[in-house]
């Protein structure tokens, strides 16, 4: 039997992003400082702006170690300092100056800004219960409308993907933004991806207005001394 008689075979091949697509690494900032009664976080354009906690700075270093050998075309942060503080170790290693993308800042929590959101969730406040049941941020008095939040996150991602077509970028952002971006990419419920860990990496591939989810909540680079429990852990925003 010569080569012309060999049966045709169609093998499975590894995933390859389409030509011109942009790989977006969505990195949740490190753990931020705790909220304390009577000591609200400072505000930036109405958003709570805590600094990183010591464990958050350690998470930032581990993110930098994880991505130090990756090719990145740009690093983006939001106007809130917990993202720029998390990005700083990686930016130093790669010699990249982080750029600010306002549209990927955290959802605005209205009257629950400044750290109050954490208390209301911890207290299992009835409004917090309703928020999780209905999967709507705007149940909170004065909070950003879900539709407005979704629109600005999409606008920001479209703009960044177009600016880096065919490349790869790291976006240091927030838990609510990551949840919104991944829900939009998959057609999932609004809060389906809520709860990405601090310092985690999620991956989107974007081509025009289309998104493909390639990974969620990668935490292999984080040093946890004990395995994470399989039971649900309380979620904290930001």
**Separation of CA 30 from chain center:** 11
For the record, the structure tokens of 207 come out as 């081509």
Contacts 24+ apart (CB under 8 A), 119-124: 119/35, 119/37, 121/234, 121/235, 121/236, 121/237, 122/234
For the record, the structure tokens of 113 come out as 């800004």
For the record, the structure tokens of 143 come out as 């909070």
For the record, the structure tokens of 167 come out as 């490349």
Q: Is 29 noted as a catalytic residue in this protein?
A: yes
**DSSP state, 215?**
E
Catalytic pick among 29, 47, 108, 174: 29
CA distance 232 to 30: 20
Of the candidates 145, 143, 149, the residue with the CA atom closest to the CA atom of residue 112: 143
Catalytic pick among 106, 144, 164, 174: 106
Q: Is 164 noted as a catalytic residue in this protein?
A: no
CB 29 within 8 A of CB 172: yes
Residues with catalytic annotation?
Answer: 29, 106
């Amino acid at each position: 039997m010569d080569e012309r008689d060999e049966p045709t075979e169609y093998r499975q091949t590894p995933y390859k992003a389409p030509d011109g697509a942009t790989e977006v690494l969505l990195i949740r900032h490190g753990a931020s400082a705790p909220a304390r009664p009577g000591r609200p976080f400072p505000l930036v354009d109405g958003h709570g702006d805590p600094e990183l906690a010591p464990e958050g700075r350690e998470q930032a270093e581990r993110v930098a170690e994880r991505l130090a050998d990756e090719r990145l075309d740009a690093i983006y942060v939001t106007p809130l300092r917990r993202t720029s503080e998390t990005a700083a170790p990686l930016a130093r290693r790669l010699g990249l100056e982080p750029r600010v993308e306002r549209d990927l800042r955290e959802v605005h929590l209205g009257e629950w800004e400044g750290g109050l959101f954490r208390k209301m969730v911890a207290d299992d406040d009835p409004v917090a219960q309703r928020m999780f049941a209905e999967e709507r941020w705007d149940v909170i008095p004065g909070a950003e409308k879900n539709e407005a939040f979704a629109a600005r996150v999409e606008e920001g991602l479209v703009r960044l993907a177009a600016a880096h077509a065919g490349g790869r970028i790291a976006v240091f952002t927030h838990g609510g933004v990551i949840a919104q971006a991944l829900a939009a990419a998959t057609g999932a419920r609004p809060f389906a991806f809520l709860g990405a860990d601090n310092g985690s990496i999620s991956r989107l591939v974007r081509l025009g207005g289309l998104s493909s989810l390639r990974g969620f909540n990668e935490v292999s680079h984080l040093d946890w001394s004990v395995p994470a429990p399989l039971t649900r852990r309380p979620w904290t925003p930001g």
